[in-house]
Structure 1
Amino acid sequence: MAQENPPVLSGPALWSAQAHLPSVLGRQLTIERADGSYLYTTDGRRLFDGTAGLWHANVGHARPELADAAHDQMRRLETYHVFGRYLNDRAVALGERLAAMSPIEDPKVILNSGGSDAIDVACKLARRHWQREGREDKTMILSREFAYHGLHAYGTSIAGLDFNRTGYGTESLVPETARVSTDDIEAVERTVREIGPEHIAALVAEPVQGTGGVIVPAPGYLEGLQRICRENDILLIIDEVITGFGRTGHMFATERYGLTPDLITFAKGVTSGYAPLGGVLVAPHIWQPFYRDADDTPMFRHGATYSGHATACAVALRNLDILDEEKLVARVADLEQVLADELRVLGTRESVVETRVAGLLGGVALVDDINAEAVTDELVEHGFVTRPLRGNTVQISPPFITTDDELRGLVAAIAAVLTAHEGR
C-alpha cells in the first residue's frame, strides 16, 4: 500500500528568514506595533526590544518625525533613479551629508538598499580597482572567522560562519575567497603569505563582530590588519553595517579604533531601520580614476532600482538630525559604562564564560550546558527580547534612547533566567 504524504506543517505563507522552520512554526511572535524601546505583539505582550530589531532601531520605534519625513517626501516625489545623468535631490543631499561626516576624507558615496547590497558592491569594486590597475591576479577577498557580511552571493561567500556558507555545492558561491584568524594577527600574516599578496584584492572586517558573538577586537588586532593591508597592497574594507552611526559611542567604529580604510560599508543605523538603505564610502584613490575626463576612463557598473531612493534618503537625513539633536551618540558612551558595570557583575556567575562590551553592543557567552537559545526564549516570558548568537552568546543591543534602569532591568532578567538554569 502506498504511504500517504505526511501532512504539511501549518503556518503562515511567509517563509521566515534565517529560521529552522520546524523549530519555530507554531511559536512565532507577530509584532503589530511598537513605541520607543517597546514592542507589542498580536497576542497582547509588551516586550522590551533588547536587540533594537536587527541592531538597527537606534532612535527607537515609531517616531513621528521619521513618519512625517517619509510622508512629506512621498507627497513630493516618492523616488527617481540615480542612473546615468539622472539624480534626485534627496540622494544628492544625503550623499553630501554622509561625505561630510565620513571618517574617509573626501569620499564618494554609493547608495543602495542595505548592508548586503553594500558588501556586494564593495567587494566588486575592490576587484574592479585592481583589474583597472592592470594587476589581474588580485582577485581574492579575505574575511575573518566568525564574520557575518549579509547573505547576498558575496556576503554568503565571505561568511566566517560556516553554516551560512555551506550547502550550495561549492566551498564559496563566488570563487576566490578565504578566511583569516579573528584575533591572531600573526596567523593573519601567515595566511596572507600562503595565499600570496599578489593574489589578494581586499580584506573585509567588522570592527566589532556582531552575529559572530559580539567579539570585541583584541588590542592591536585591527591596527595589525590595517598594517598588513598597507604593506601588501590589499584594500581594507571596514563593514560598519552594525557599528555605523553611533552604536559604539562614536559615529563610526572606524574612529573609535583609529582606522583609515579604503572602503566603508554602512546600512541599518543610517535610517534606524525606518527605510531600507545602505551604501559604501569610497576613498579618493579608488574613485578618482573613474572620474577622469579622458577617452579611456573606465566605468564601474553598479546600481539597483532603489539606489538613492528619495524617500529612504529623506528618512535618513531626518534620522541623522535626531542623532545630532538628541546627542544620542554621546548617550551611547554613557550607556556603555552602565552596561559594562552590569555585565561585570553578571560575568562572575558560574554559568557565564565571558561578557563583552563595546558601546551599546553587549554579549554574554554562556557555559555549554546552558543553551543561549533557551535563555532567550525564556527572557520573552520576562518581557525582554534578545537573540542567541554564535558561541552560545546572548545579544544585548537596545535602542540608544534606552534608560539606565531599562538596561539594568534587561541584565537583571538575564541573571534571573540564569539563576533558574543554575539550580536545575
Structure 2
Amino acid sequence: MKTPALWSAQAHMPSIIDRQIRVVSAQGAYLTTDKGSRLFDGTSSLWYSNIGHGREEMAQVAYEQMRTLDAYHVFGRYTNDRAVELSEKLVDIAPMDNAKVILNSGGSDAIDVALKLARRYWNHIGRKTKTVIISREHSYHGLHAYGTSVAGLDFNREGYGTDSLVSGTERVEKHSTTAFAEAIERIGAENIAAYIAEPILGTGGVHPPQEGYFEEIQKMCRDNEILFIADEVITGFGRTGSMFASTRYGLQPDIVTFAKGVTSGYAALGGIFVAPRLWQPFFERNANAPIYRHGTTYSGHPVTAALALKNLEILEQESLIERSAHLEQVLSNSLSEIESHELVASTRVGGLLGAIELRDIAQAEVITDQLLDLGFISRPLRGNSVQISPPFISTDQEVRSLVEAVRYLLDDIQPARIRA
C-alpha cells in the first residue's frame, strides 16, 4: 500500500497509515470527516478552538486584511497597523502591568523567545553565570530545541544524542517546593536564570496547582533572583475561566508565554508578555542599549494579528470567558459522578480543562479510539488519562455527554477481567 506523503506530528507512522482520520470541514463544536462522520471536538483540537470552528466573521476579517495588506514583517524599523493594534490590546489585558509584547508564530516559538530572553537579560546586566533553566516533571513546553530540553516528558528527548538539545536545564518534582529549594542549593542561585511552569500542567495530565505551591515558588524566585516564567500557551485567553491562569492563581511572572487561544486556531500566532524589569534595559535611549537578536519571519503578520483582534472581540462580546467558567462547573460535576467508577483512578479539573485518569486495565488510548465511534474526539494524555477540553461555545449537555460516553465504554469492560 502506498505510504502517505504527509509525515504526521507525534505519530507512530506504521500504526496510523491505515487509520488516519481526514477532517474536511468544521462548524461550531463539530468536525466532519471524509467518511461523513460528525465528531464533537472534545479537545478543541489541540486545546485552542475556544470560539468554535467555521465563523464567517473570522473569514471576512482575513479577506479584508489580505486586500489591504497581505503580509509584511516587523523587523527593525518596520511595523504594521494590525501588529501595533494587537500589541496594544494585549498589553491592556495582560496579566502584568506595563508589559511589552513580542509576537511570533506559535507556542514553541514563544518558549524559545522567552528562555533566550531570560539568559540574554542576565548576560546584559553582568550576571553571566545565570543560565540554567529549571522546569517541572511531566511539563510540556513545545517541541523546539528549548522546549524539548526543558520539558518534563522524557520520551520527547529520546534519540537526539544527549539528554537535552540545549544544555543547562534541570527538572524538579511537579508539586514539591522542597525539590525546587534543593535544586537551588545544589546548582547555586548565581547559576539559575529562570524557573518555567505551566499554571496547570496540560499534556502532562491536567494537574492544577496544589494550594500554596506557586506562592512559595514565587517567593523563592524573588529571594534568589530567579526569573519566573508562566507558560500560558494552553491556559491563556479564557481556558481557566479567567483571561489568564496567572490572574486566577495570583501569579506574578516576569514573562508569560501565549499562543493557541489568542486566535482560537484561526491562524498561527504566539508570543510573550515581558515585565518592565526585563524590557527596560533594551529600550533605554542610549548607544549602549543591547539588541535582543531574536525574531521570526511571520512575527506581527497583519492577517494573523487581525484574526487575533477579532477573536478577542468575540470572546468579550459573547461573554465566552464567563461561559468557560460556567462549563468548568458542568465538567466538574460530571467528573465527580464518574470518579466512583471502578476503572477510574481519579479525575482532575482546572478551568475548562479536565482529565479522567484510568486504572491500568482500561487504556486511555483504546478508550479515545472507541469514543470516535460514539461521535466524540478526545486524546490520551500522560498518566493513562483521557483529555476533556471542549470549545467555550459547547452546550452543557455536550460536555456531560462526552463524560457519559467515557462511562459507557468503561462499563463495557468485563468486570471479571478486573477481579482476575
TM-score (norm 1): 0.97
The correspondence for 1:253, drawn from 236, 245, 249, is: 245
Q: Which residue of 2 aligns with 1:166?
A: 158
| 1:220 aligned onto 2:212 | yes
Q: Which runs of 5+ in 2 are unaligned?
A: none
1: CA distance, partners of 2:379 / 2:158: 22
Deviation at 1:373, TM superposition (A): 0.1
1: CA distance, partners of 2:214 / 2:373: 39
Q: Which residue of 2 aligns with 1:77?
A: 69
Q: How does 1:231-250 map to 2 (within 5 A)?
A: 231-250=223-242
Deviation at 1:422, TM superposition (A): 4.5
Would the aligned equivalents of 1:33 and 1:40 in 2 still touch at CA under 8 Å?
A: yes
Counterpart AA for 1:27? R
Would the aligned equivalents of 1:11 and 1:26 in 2 still touch at CA under 8 Å?
A: no
Counterpart AA for 1:215? H
Q: Which runs of 5+ in 1 are unaligned?
A: 1-8
| 1:372 aligned onto 2:368 | no
1: CA distance, partners of 2:373 / 2:401: 14
The correspondence for 2:38, drawn from 26, 46, 65, is: 46
The correspondence for 1:304, drawn from 296, 306, 324, is: 296
2: CA distance, partners of 1:166 / 1:178: 16
Identity %: 59
Q: Which moved more, 1:277-286 or 1:10-19?
A: 10-19
2: CA distance, partners of 1:422 / 1:165: 37
| 1:19 aligned onto 2:31 | no
Deviation at 1:12, TM superposition (A): 1.5
Q: Deviations over 1:116-152 (max 9, x none)?
A: 0000000000000000110111000111000100000
The number of equivalent residue pairs is: 416
Q: Which moved more, 1:296-305 or 1:247-256?
A: 296-305
Q: Which residue of 2 aligns with 1:4?
A: none
2: CA distance, partners of 1:111 / 1:55: 20
Would the aligned equivalents of 1:147 and 1:211 in 2 still touch at CA under 8 Å?
A: yes
Deviation at 1:10, TM superposition (A): 3.3
Q: How does 1:246-395 map to 2 (within 5 A)?
A: 246-395=238-387
1: CA distance, partners of 2:360 / 2:264: 34
The correspondence for 2:222, drawn from 217, 225, 230, is: 230
Q: Which residue of 1 aligns with 2:93?
A: 101
Helix, strand or coil for the counterpart of 2:115?
helix
Helix, strand or coil for the counterpart of 1:421?
coil
Q: Which residue of 2 aligns with 1:3?
A: none
Q: Deviations over 1:28-51 (max 9, x none)?
A: 100000000000000110000000
Helix, strand or coil for the counterpart of 1:365?
strand
- Please list every run of at least 4 consecutive aligned residues from structure 1 whose deviation after the TM superposition is greater than 4 angstroms: none
Counterpart AA for 1:382? L
2: CA distance, partners of 1:422 / 1:415: 13
Counterpart AA for 2:134? L
| 1:144 aligned onto 2:164 | no
The correspondence for 1:129, drawn from 104, 121, 129, is: 121
Q: Deviations over 1:175-224 (max 9, x none)?
A: 00010110111121111211111110001100001100011111111222
1: CA distance, partners of 2:387 / 2:14: 23
Q: Which residue of 2 aligns with 1:177?
A: 169
RMSD over equivalenced CA pairs, Å = 0.8
Counterpart AA for 2:96? I
Counterpart AA for 2:390? P
Q: Deviations over 1:38-95 (max 9, x none)?
A: 0000011000000000000000001111111111100110111101111010000000
Q: Which moved more, 1:186-195 or 1:354-363?
A: 186-195
| 1:205 aligned onto 2:210 | no
Counterpart AA for 1:419? D
